[in-house]
Amino acid sequence: MSAAKTLVARKVAVIGSGSWGTAVTGLLAPHVELVSLWSFEPEVVRQINASRHNPHQLTKYEVDPCVCATSSLSEATDDADAILLVVPSAFLRGVCEQLVGCVDPTTPILVLTKGVERTTGCLMVDVVAQTLGFAERIAVLSGPNHAEEISEGTISAAVVAAHDERIARYFQQMVVSTTFRAYVSDDVCGVEVCAAVKNVIALACGVASAMGAGDNTLAALMTRGLAEMNRIAVSLGADPLTCMGLAGMGDLVVTCTSHHSRNRTFGEAYVAGESLAQYQARTGMVVEGAEAAASIHELAREKHVDAPITNAVYQILYEDCDLGDAMGMLLGRHPRDEFYGVVPGARSGEEEEE
């Protein structure tokens, strides 16, 4: 143990060795004696333990000496003071089901996975609560945090949300540093919705950019995407102000504009003729926005929330809608009150149509 450490926990398990899971071990390292990093792939485990480098993601990043990789979930979580879940949304429930019996019911859990479960419409925190129980010990972390920049020590910020403030503060202290600013919130639902919807909007921005959209167009798309995010969040009981913060506007801006964004770059690649499967195989990364487009499309329809950008992305990816037709549908809509569905009294789309 380094003398420079300010310990918050003795052992923390990080479940998921993708780019974000790998990068977050560096945030934990100053505050934890041992980080047990679980990977599904034995070769990743071997390479990290032997060379201190992940062979697939952030390959130039040197993993801290306190990190020990393993392919055993029970070994990773045994005697862990806390658990971080950093697996793709489509696999979160399956991994949590495997963790049943391995995790003490009082162990704090931090969810870094972003998305809405496609088959159930559940937020990620609800998936974890349904499988592992005791929702009050679960927190979520989200914000404008590209793993590439986190691993380089670039100044970044995020929000940690939990129903129990003590849990939020616990995880805040576990990741905070002079270069990583962590703020707390009690709006778990709002943070989760923002984390999922922003990926869909970023995918739309990638498509628009590849089709020749200018800065004005992208700014309009992002801003109307923020309004769409707000309507969905409010329909689920979230605080609309959350969408104005790090998990909402902050993450939306970085995901829609950065070359690190797999959602934006997939949108660009799609216009160039690359399929989702081809893109994911080439990059080795999951495009969460593609999964979220389907789940949020269903959620918005169920809640009777107007979500035109999400619907357009869904039709492009899953209904073979022509890109020009999708753009035409968005531009053919009659502009309504700017904050309809969010601000009381603002006229909704339905009222305008009648």
Q: What amino acid positions are annotated as catalytic residues?
A: 198
Q: How far is CA 56 from CA 27, 273, 285, in A?
A: 20, 25, 10
Amino acid, res. 315:
Q
Q: Which two tokens stand for residue 5?
A: 């450490």
Q: Where are the alpha helices (DSSP H) in the chain?
A: 19-28, 42-51, 73-77, 89-99, 124-132, 147-151, 165-175, 188-210, 215-235, 251-257, 262-271, 276-283, 288-303, 308-318, 323-331, 349-353
User: Residue 280 class from Cβ within 10 Å (0-12 exposed, 13-18 middle, 19+ buried)?
Assistant: middle
Q: Which amino acid is at 34?
A: L
DSSP state of 31: G
**What is the side-by-side order of every strand in the sheet holding 82-85?**
67-70, 32-38, 9-15, 82-85, 109-111, 138-142, 156-162, 180-185
